[in-house]
Copies of this chain bind each other. A is one copy, B any other.
């Protein structure tokens, strides 16, 4: 199954000549999760031939325009193209009010059901769950309410080793084996030992999206050993004071978090427009955490099972 992140925008605050504002598509199986939606996101989706019809969930980290000014346009386009499938929208207080006002004045009655989930950005809390996935908020420290999102595949079933399976097993017993249980008879006597008839399951993959925030080492418990960590790196470390003052982070700080959380791979983004060349930011992060990459427009990062 796919577990793949596509970057649509990497610019902080304002777009620049070749960088768009924040938006990412996380593909899990055949569903798209859109994370933030800066202005022009619907055009970026077209550019990369990503069908917005397949977006099931949209997550907005906070209400600075560079993270959501493309949302009303994307929702309008979905509506104008006759979307029927319901959509889950997760965002901080205020987002629903803004969209409702825009749709009121445009006379828009959406063609699909928009399920709005208002987020408490101050807590780590499960906000979405389906058969294969959970999504939790990650509290950020920014100038306005802001959270990140932790996407984690659920535990996967243990594949059965067919040639080792006794023929007397019933379907419910087979299900329990897939989920790691041994099989006992009515008197509690062990009939089949799980480890002898199943293999280890495929890995449960994870992606943590850390939106705009000051350096916040107390995030570590949420980020521990995730496969893929995105962390904003608006500035290089020589502007650490400016980062602190504006509630942003530096590339070095992002890398320190990644190293301490022992993640597999770090992606940095949300670059200040002052950086035409991003290599100094990348090198700074890699000096602390070598498995770092730039989350620039069009990049794809896959996590294998």
A300 within 8 A of B: no
Stretch of A14-22, A173-181, A281-289 that contacts chain B: A14-22
Residues of A within 8 A of B (CB-CB), count: 37
Q: A97 to chain B: which residues have CB within 8 Å? A: 101
- A216 located at the interface, meaning its Cβ lies under 8 Å from any Cβ of chain B in the complex: no
Q: Which residues of B contact A15 (CB under 8 A)?
A: 42-43, 46, 73, 77
Which residue of chain B lies nearest to A143 when distances are taken between CB atoms in the complex? B107
Q: How far is the CB of A40 from chain B (nearest CB, A)?
A: 5
Q: Which residues of A contact B (CB under 8 A)?
A: 13-17, 20, 39-40, 42-43, 46-47, 63-66, 69-70, 72-73, 76-77, 80-81, 92, 94-95, 97-98, 101-102, 104-107, 143-144
List 8 A-B pairs, minimum CB-CB distance, nearest first: A94-B105, A63-B105, A39-B73, A14-B77, A69-B73, A65-B76, A40-B40, A107-B144
Task: List 7 other contacts, CB 8 Å, given A14-B42, A15-B42, A65-B73.
Answer: A15-B43, A15-B46, A40-B40, A94-B101, A98-B98, A105-B144, A107-B144
The 8 Å CB contact of A106, one of B39, B46, B64, is B64
A270 to chain B, nearest CB (A): 14
Query: Which residue of the partner chain B has the closest CB to A74?
Result: B39
